[in-house]
Chains A and B, each alone.
Chain A
């Protein structure tokens, strides 16, 4: 294979294959239910971790034990019993199917609408694929390209073995183990996740994403991600996938930490489509995520998220603008349908001078769902000339759903300039009528209007993600107006 260039990458993306972690030989081993120090030790041992890591986990566990589950979010769900969960399970083995006919027709329907090719569909549904896909070699090529630039991108469990000095230095610096209930739990029992380090002055030549991840880490129950961008570097990281993910794990508690050193930039995009439960609100994933980034001088962190899945979402990607002139951005679309509940937003903590933050949040609620924006903009007394612009728009479909905004604005500096705007609206009958007149059926018209509503955020997604995310929005809202 000749040298893999960016054009090739682009081509590859056009005809891309979904690359999930489940190619490896899977040990289907699960620990007994419950959590205690022995379980934490055993997880650590299983991963062959060094002593400091085991201690770190234990410390987190001890902190967690003293904490109580938060209940301030605007979501209601039966509280999980934390002693009734198996804390270590190797990635689940999916039943191998012989043909697409055996796959759940609903799932196939969704694939079709997302425009996923037959081969991909097979791969996603774990159907045995006849043609040999050269994904492993593609992956290897990627690894080589990244290696040449000195970029480290690997499962965090490997990183703990291979680059302990880096992991030790940064792990838990942005989200301390004692940060909150779920972060502490994650710190104690995290199974795997990704580690990414971009050396000084390096621009990462490709979007790092779970597409090309070459490990079995996958989307575990307690995922831990750590991205470190050293001085002057740039990286764009994609997480998640537009295809629906079904998972039996009810509880997901991930932690993502971003460190942007001086002049570095991190762009972190997420598309989340966990199983939201059925139309009657049965089942579905509880997603409790702690995401936070630290910006040093002149650094920039940008969060973009499209949330369509999960029965319950509790997620506040935040930026600590520590360095002078640092920039934090948050672009979000949260769609809830049926009985879904989302409480999501961001925190922008302005500590440095001339720091800027932008928050654009679009909430779309349909069915009987509840969609909340909860945000904090905090201007510290030393943060001269801080600037914030926030916009939270909600779109309601039907009167069985709810949209809520809980913005907190705390300012201790007179030079701060803060603007916050929120609007709530619905899809106007006039708008629909206009479209109908021009031969666009109602369903399409709604898709059109929703796309227009969420355009500002979709534009921030990497190209290939944006197209899929757009389709995903349509599917998520299907049949919600009528």
Chain B
């Protein structure tokens, strides 16, 4: 059975487990209709021109995986940022793991989507924000139709959350192929500040497909720092749909570090509904093998005096494929917009491919918009210089690539995340960087 049919038919079974007498269920049913109409994206769609899901849609995914084997902290500790105190919302095969998690309801809520959807006290927030900024496209609709679990974070006014929040989804691989659809909602009210780290990790080499939707709402003068770490097994695929809605004077930064996985597709969308907003989108991609990473970004400048900064670096080895499609839309009311977009790529192997499409759509005249896109190699002279001074070629290349990716790392605000990423890059490039940052 085709995955689409399987999903459609399993919806009935899904309805048996949930309360169907709610507003949320109406949203679900509508979303399912929408997905039924649209189906999975194909390469014929402009937005999916360079990424085909055909190979991974063939798998016979288990849509509601049983709770697999128990996971011991020792097995998974390495996937946490464990050297600092954090809140944790952890899911195993799509189910909440209270054992590994550390949630809170003191002053603010870091808890579960399932309880937020069912308990009355969360209703005002859910009504106001749930599914409000997410686009009603194919994969987002699919996620909405099956929404049941994920992280729910609500920070009321004037709170600086002292500890970062980690959202981690593990798949145990208890079935040959598992599909999960986590749904996260993050609402940050006026003047509040929060840092979030998100990670998807499969614990075996079995096939995994995660179709994640995250909605972020940043109210006036709110600050959100969001880090996505994507370093999964080579049979784990991820479609990450993130929608950010910003109000005046807010600052939202999303850093995406893609170091592994089968097919990784990041749909990152920013909507600026206010003035003096700053949106920051940064990413480092270092992949090899047959891995495929696709960054699809959209920054929609709707009101005047806003800024956006995009900086994506990619290093592609072996037969890997990279895609960057960055789109900046400046509406005609959005005068005095400053939008920068930078995409630099290095191909290390002859078999690697990079497809880039930096796109600008501008309707306002008093704006400063620029984009730059380069594809090139490491500087041979610099490499030679290092070799002359006794640095082996391999380390030299590693250093150069590290330096290439480093501009993105500079803006990482949590030191432990930064050192973790540094280590991942060093591992990835197979060199000992030899200094701490």
User: Which of A's residues lie within 8 Å of B, judged by CB?
Assistant: 72, 379, 381, 394, 396-426
Q: Is B370 engaged at the interface, CB distance under 8 Å to the other chain?
A: yes
Knowing A404-B362, A405-B359, A406-B359 are in contact, say whether A411-B354 is a contact too (CB < 8 A): yes
Q: Which residues of B contact A417 (CB under 8 A)?
A: 374-377
Give CA–CA (A410, B347) in the complex, Å. Answer: 12
Knowing A396-B362, A413-B347 are in contact, say whether A424-B373 is a contact too (CB < 8 A): no
Q: Is B66 engaged at the interface, CB distance under 8 Å to the other chain?
A: no
Q: Contact at B370–A411, with CB atoms within 8 Å? A: no
When each residue 335-356 of chain B gets 1 if its CB lies under 8 Å from chain A and 0 otherwise, what string results?
Answer: 1000000000101111111111
Give CA–CA (A72, B49) in the complex, Å. Answer: 13
Q: Contact at B360–A405, with CB atoms within 8 Å? A: yes
Q: Which residues of B contact A409 (CB under 8 A)?
A: 354-357, 373, 375
Partner of A424, one of B347, B355, B357, B362: B362
Q: Is B5 engaged at the interface, CB distance under 8 Å to the other chain?
A: no
Q: Contact at A407–B357, with CB atoms within 8 Å? A: yes
Q: Which residues of B contact A413 (CB under 8 A)?
A: 347, 350
Q: Contact at B358–A407, with CB atoms within 8 Å? A: yes
Q: Contact at A398–B370, with CB atoms within 8 Å? A: no
Q: Is B8 engaged at the interface, CB distance under 8 Å to the other chain?
A: no
Q: How far is the CB of A17 from chain B (nearest CB, A)?
A: 41
Q: How far is the CB of B359 from chain A (nearest CB, A)?
A: 5
Q: Which residues of B contact A420 (CB under 8 A)?
A: 356, 358, 371-374
Give CA–CA (A426, B368) in the complex, Å. Answer: 9
User: Which of B's residues lie within 8 Å of A, judged by CB?
Assistant: 46, 332, 335, 345, 347-377
Q: Contact at B368–A425, with CB atoms within 8 Å? A: yes
Give CA–CA (A418, B376) in the complex, Å. Answer: 6
Does more than half of chain A's interface fall in helix, strand or loop, or is it mixed?
Answer: strand
Q: How far is the CB of A415 from chain B (nearest CB, A)?
A: 7
Q: Which residue of A lies closest to B372 (CB)?
A: A421
Q: Contact at B347–A399, with CB atoms within 8 Å? A: no
Supplied contacts A407-B359, A410-B356, A413-B347, 6 more A-B pairs, CB within 8 Å: A404-B360, A405-B371, A407-B357, A407-B373, A411-B347, A411-B354
Q: Contact at B354–A424, with CB atoms within 8 Å? A: no
Q: Contact at B349–A422, with CB atoms within 8 Å? A: no
Partner of B377, one of A399, A408, A415: A415
Q: Which residues of A contact B355 (CB under 8 A)?
A: 408-411
Knowing A399-B335, A413-B350 are in contact, say whether A418-B362 is a contact too (CB < 8 A): no
Knowing A381-B350, A410-B353, A414-B350 are in contact, say whether A394-B362 is a contact too (CB < 8 A): yes
Q: Which residues of A contact B368 (CB under 8 A)?
A: 424-425
Q: Which residues of B contact A418 (CB under 8 A)?
A: 373-376
The 26 listed contacts between A and B (C-beta, < 8 Å) are: A399-B335, A399-B366, A402-B363, A403-B362, A405-B359, A408-B356, A409-B354, A409-B356, A410-B356, A411-B354, A411-B355, A411-B356, A413-B347, A414-B348, A414-B350, A414-B352, A415-B377, A416-B375, A417-B374, A419-B374, A421-B370, A421-B372, A423-B369, A424-B362, A424-B369, A424-B370
Knowing A405-B360, A407-B359 are in contact, say whether A398-B365 is a contact too (CB < 8 A): yes
Q: Which residue of B lies closest to A403 (CB)?
A: B362
Partner of B332, one of A381, A400, A419, A426: A400
Q: Contact at B373–A416, with CB atoms within 8 Å? A: no
Kindly name the residue among B46, B362, B369 whose own CB sees the greatest number of chain A CB atoms within 10 A: B362
Q: Contact at B374–A424, with CB atoms within 8 Å? A: no
Q: Which residue of A lies closest to B354 (CB)?
A: A411
Q: Which residue of B lies closest to A402 (CB)?
A: B363
Give CA–CA (A408, B347) in the complex, Å. Answer: 17
Q: How far is the CB of A143 from chain B (nearest CB, A)?
A: 48
Q: Which residues of A contact B369 (CB under 8 A)?
A: 422-424
Give CA–CA (A415, B352) in the complex, Å. Answer: 11
The 8 A-B residue pairs with the shortest CB-CB distance in the complex, in nearest-first order: A414-B347, A396-B365, A418-B375, A420-B373, A409-B356, A426-B365, A424-B369, A402-B363
Q: Which residues of A contact B347 (CB under 8 A)?
A: 411, 413-414, 416
Q: How far is the CB of B122 from chain A (nearest CB, A)?
A: 42
Q: Which residues of B contact A401 (CB under 8 A)?
A: 363, 365
Q: Contact at B358–A422, with CB atoms within 8 Å? A: yes
Q: Contact at A424–B367, with CB atoms within 8 Å? A: yes
Q: Contact at B363–A399, with CB atoms within 8 Å? A: yes
Partner of B353, one of A394, A412, A421: A412
Q: Which residue of B lies closest to A418 (CB)?
A: B375
Q: How far is the CB of A217 from chain B (nearest CB, A)?
A: 38
Give CA–CA (A406, B373) in the complex, Å. Answer: 12
Q: How far is the CB of B360 from chain A (nearest CB, A)?
A: 5
Knowing A399-B332, A417-B377, A424-B369 are in contact, say whether A411-B353 is a contact too (CB < 8 A): yes
Give CA–CA (A188, B360) in the complex, Å. Answer: 37
Q: Which residues of A contact B354 (CB under 8 A)?
A: 409-411
Q: Which residues of A contact B359 (CB under 8 A)?
A: 404-407
Q: Which residues of B contact A410 (CB under 8 A)?
A: 353-356
Give CA–CA (A260, B396) in the complex, Å. Answer: 44
Q: How far is the CB of B289 from chain A (nearest CB, A)?
A: 16
Q: Which residues of A contact B375 (CB under 8 A)?
A: 379, 409, 411, 416-418
Q: How far is the CB of B46 from chain A (nearest CB, A)?
A: 7
Kindly name the residue among A406, A413, A424 whose own CB sees the greatest number of chain B CB atoms within 10 A: A424
Partner of B371, one of A396, A397, A422: A422
Give CA–CA (A398, B363) in the complex, Å. Answer: 9
Give CA–CA (A223, B351) in the complex, Å. Answer: 42
Give CA–CA (A402, B359) in the complex, Å. Answer: 13
Give CA–CA (A410, B357) in the complex, Å. Answer: 9
Q: Contact at B364–A414, with CB atoms within 8 Å? A: no
Give CA–CA (A417, B353) in the complex, Å. Answer: 13
Knowing A399-B335, A402-B362, A409-B355 are in contact, say whether A414-B349 is a contact too (CB < 8 A): yes
Q: Which residues of A contact B376 (CB under 8 A)?
A: 416-419
Q: Which residues of A contact B332 (CB under 8 A)?
A: 399-400, 402
Kindly name the residue among B345, B357, B360, B364 whose own CB sees the greatest number of chain A CB atoms within 10 A: B360
Give CA–CA (A180, B432) in the complex, Å. Answer: 53
Give CA–CA (A397, B357) in the complex, Å. Answer: 26
Q: Which residues of A contact B46 (CB under 8 A)?
A: 72
Q: Which residues of A contact B348 (CB under 8 A)?
A: 414
Q: Contact at A396–B364, with CB atoms within 8 Å? A: yes
Q: Which residue of A lies closest to B369 (CB)?
A: A424
Q: How far is the CB of B327 from chain A (nearest CB, A)?
A: 9
Q: How far is the CB of A43 from chain B (nearest CB, A)?
A: 35
Q: Contact at A424–B360, with CB atoms within 8 Å? A: yes
Q: Which residues of A contact B362 (CB under 8 A)?
A: 394, 396, 402-404, 424
Q: Which residue of A lies closest to B346 (CB)?
A: A414
Q: Which residues of A contact B356 (CB under 8 A)?
A: 407-411, 420
Q: Which residues of B contact A416 (CB under 8 A)?
A: 347, 375-376
Knowing A401-B363, A403-B362, A426-B366 are in contact, say whether A408-B373 is a contact too (CB < 8 A): no
Q: Which residues of B contact A424 (CB under 8 A)?
A: 360, 362, 367-370
Q: Which residue of B lies closest to A370 (CB)?
A: B363
Q: How far is the CB of B293 from chain A (nearest CB, A)?
A: 15
Give CA–CA (A93, B137) in the complex, Å. Answer: 54
Q: How far is the CB of A462 from chain B (nearest CB, A)?
A: 32
